[in-house]
Structures are given as structure tokens and as C-alpha cells.
Amino acid sequence: MVKHEDVRAEAKKLLESGKVKYIIAYELGSDGWKANPVFIKKPEDVDKIIWGPTCVHNLVRFLVDEKRRKALQKNPDTRPVGVMVKGCDSRAIVILLQEKFINRKDVHIIGVSCETTGVIDERKLAKKLKGWIAKTIEFGSDENFLITTDSGAVTLPASEIMADRCLECIANFPIVFDVLLGEKTKRTVCHPFGSVEKIETLTSADRWKFWSEQLEKCVRCYGCRSVCPMCYCDECVADTITFAVSPDTTAEEKAQKIKWLDKSPVISENIFYHMVRAIHLAGRCIDCGECERACPVNIPLRMLNKKLEKEAKLLFGYDVGFDPEKPALISCFRDEDPEDFIR
């Protein structure tokens, strides 16, 4: 099992050798028990680094910001950036490599095993603890979490508090890495695409009822877009809020701006935005779950993207985020692709 010390030792080695600019890792947050992302620049700071079941964040998003930062610098530091990734997060890097958004040499991947359990869903945990606040959480062996609170220690079966996406995990071990910490473990509670199957069993009318109720809540905060590593477009085609008109903006660029949908958070426009996002993430979303975690109104966004991940596999035999050389889902086809839906 990977301990904090293991990660710290590796980080210290990297920073002391000067091999990396800085390392994107996890530290203990101000509440004392949950992880937060942290940028470690100096070897002395590595003791901040932690590794545990609260490390839910997909740190790969920060690589997108790093690229933007570098583009603005006159003489950028060209050393790679270190980043801690779980299995799911590493698939995000695979996608960014597929799309040549980052170069392999610009990132030093520290792959970490999330053991038999995956990470927790803090809301589920809060419900389980009935008001008690967790003080420490650790990975247990045998698919459980070891938790201490002020009222004592408790061992909870992972299936009860693990993140929804971990229950459907198809890659619980890093796919790409420069260094690997921990071992690949077996997770028995997985049921890939289980959440999607639940929706598929509903009738068409019930499905509409479900989604219209959920998407009506959307306030178009674009939190989902901001945390997604794959939403790295400078200009979002669906709805731009970044289009900065400057004296340099050409008339052509202004004329090309298409207004597909309205900005108002009414149901029809919300659905449009989320449909565009889902279709643009087809073959690219690797289910890190950040969009759903970031959503302030608890829309089950994963179930939208997951459906297309399932169809990619089922209809086209396409595995998302495993092979950096693979062409994008919509950039290839097989002769045997289904066409029974075509008249």
C-alpha cells in the first residue's frame, strides 16, 4: 500500500535533481482531513504531500493551465511538470497526448495506485458518519476504508462510501506513467456502466422527466467545463464567455462567431449546452467525475458522458483513453460499424 512517505520520497528526488519544474500533488486541506491540490516547488516542501482516499481531484486539469501559462511567457522553463495521477486521471493524460495538446516530455507522471477501494465520495461519507466529522481516512485492504472520528475508529466497506465512478471503474491502475507507486489490485464491486444501465431501463418518457428535472437546475456556472481537462478549448463552441474582443480581433473572427444557443439558463438552452458538451466529449471523457463533483446543483453529469463512453465501446469497440497513438473516436471508423438505424 502506498504511504505518504513513498510519494514524498519520490517527489523529493525529482525536485532535488531539478528534473521537474514543480510537482502537482495533494496536501491536507484547511479542514484537516480532506485533500486539496498543491503545487510543490521546493524539495523542503515535500512533507506537505499526502496520498489517501480523499485525493479525488483530477490534477491533470492543471496541465492545461500550465500550457496556457507557458504560452504567455517569453522564456519559459522547458522542464517537465510532475503530476500525481490515479488510473482514471492517467487516461486524461492519454487523451491529451492523443490530441497533441501536451508533449510526453512535458510531463513527468507519478502514477499512484488507488488500491482496492478507489476514492471516497465525501457526501456519502457524511451521511454514513451521521454528523461526526472524519479525522483521518486511510485505505484498508480488502475493499474497505479505515476511518477515525472523535467518537472512535470505524471500518466501512468501500462499496458504501466510494465515489460513484469508482464503482464503475475500468482502469484502477495508471495507464501511462514515468514512475509507479503501489500495485495493481483487484476491485470486485465494479459494475462498469451500471449507472447508465439504470437510466436505460426507464421508459422514454421517464428518461425525459429525469433529465429535464435535473438540467432545469443548471445555472450555467460552467463549473463542469472549468474542471474538465478535456475542455481545454480557448473558445467554447457551445457558449463562449472567453471571447475577448480586442483591437486585434479581426472582422473575420468576429463574423465567424456562431451563436448556437442563448446564454439564459432556461431548460432548452441548458439541454443544448450539455448535449454539445456530451457529444464533444464522446471518446474523450474518461470519467474522472470532476464535472459532477464541481456542479453546485448536483446534476448527475457523469451519466450523460458515460452513456456515450458505453456506446463507444458497445457500438464501435472503442476503448477511451488507453492508447496515446489511437485516433479520436470520431476520426476513425470500422467497416462493420452498425448501420441498422439507417433507412
Q: Is 262 in the site for another protein (CB under 8 A)?
A: yes
State which of residues 1, 271, 313, 324 lies at the interface with another protein (CB under 8 A).
271
Residues 6+ apart with CB under 8 A from 117: 53, 139, 140, 143, 144, 145, 158, 162, 166, 187
Q: Is 197 in the site for another protein (CB under 8 A)?
A: no
Ranges within 272-291 binding another protein (CB under 8 A): 272, 275-276, 278-280, 282
Could you give the string, one character per residue 111-130, with x where binding to another protein holds by CB under 8 A and - elsewhere? --------------------
Q: Is 261 in the site for another protein (CB under 8 A)?
A: yes
Q: Is 232 in the site for another protein (CB under 8 A)?
A: yes
Q: Rounded CA gap, 302 and 192, in Å?
A: 13
In the complex, minimum distance from the CB of residue 143 to another protein, in angstroms, rounded to a whole number:
31
Q: Is 253 in the site for another protein (CB under 8 A)?
A: yes
Residue 212 phi, psi (nearest 5): -70, -35
Q: Is 133 in the site for another protein (CB under 8 A)?
A: no
Answer for the pair 181, 111: CB distance below 8 angstroms, yes or no: yes
> Which helix (H) or strand (E) is 136 found in, with range?
strand 134-139
- Which has the closest alpha carbon to 84: 187, 188, 178, 189? 178
> Of 164 and 239, which has the nearer Cβ to another protein?
239
Q: Rounded CA gap, 88 and 316, in Å?
A: 21
Indicate the DSSP class of residue 40.
Answer: E
Angstrom distances, CA of residue 110 to CA of 175, 181, 202: 11, 7, 41
> Of 69 and 123, which has the nearer Cβ to another protein?
69
> Of 224 and 312, which has the nearer Cβ to another protein?
312
State which of residues 17, 73, 188, 256 lies at the interface with another protein (CB under 8 A).
256
- Which range in 120-128, 219-227, 291-299, 328-336 contacts another protein by CB under 8 A? 328-336
Q: Each residue of 293-322: b (16+ CB within 10 Å) or e?
A: bbbeeebbbbbbbbbbbbbbeeebebbbbb
Q: Is 212 in the site for another protein (CB under 8 A)?
A: yes
Q: Is 328 in the site for another protein (CB under 8 A)?
A: yes
Answer for the pair 148, 136: CB distance below 8 angstroms, yes or no: yes
State which of residues 17, 75, 78, 331 lies at the interface with another protein (CB under 8 A).
331
With contacts defined by CB under 8 A, how many residues of the chain interact with another protein? 59
Q: Rounded CA gap, 192 and 61, in Å?
A: 24
In whole angstroms, what separates CA 145 from the centre of its chain? 22
Residues 6+ apart with CB under 8 A from 154: 129, 147, 148
> Which helix (H) or strand (E) is 83 found in, with range?
strand 81-85
Ranges within 70-109 binding another protein (CB under 8 A): 99-101
Ranges within 289-318 binding another protein (CB under 8 A): 304, 307-308, 311-312, 315-316
In the complex, minimum distance from the CB of residue 135 to another protein, in angstroms, rounded to a whole number:
41
Q: Is 237 in the site for another protein (CB under 8 A)?
A: yes
Q: Is 216 in the site for another protein (CB under 8 A)?
A: no
Answer for the pair 86, 168: CB distance below 8 angstroms, yes or no: no
Q: Is 332 in the site for another protein (CB under 8 A)?
A: yes
* Residue ranges that bind another protein, judged by CB under 8 A: 99-101, 199-200, 204-212, 232-235, 237, 252-253, 255-256, 258, 260-262, 266, 268-269, 271-272, 275-276, 278-280, 282, 304, 307-308, 311-312, 315-316, 327-333, 335, 337-339, 341-343
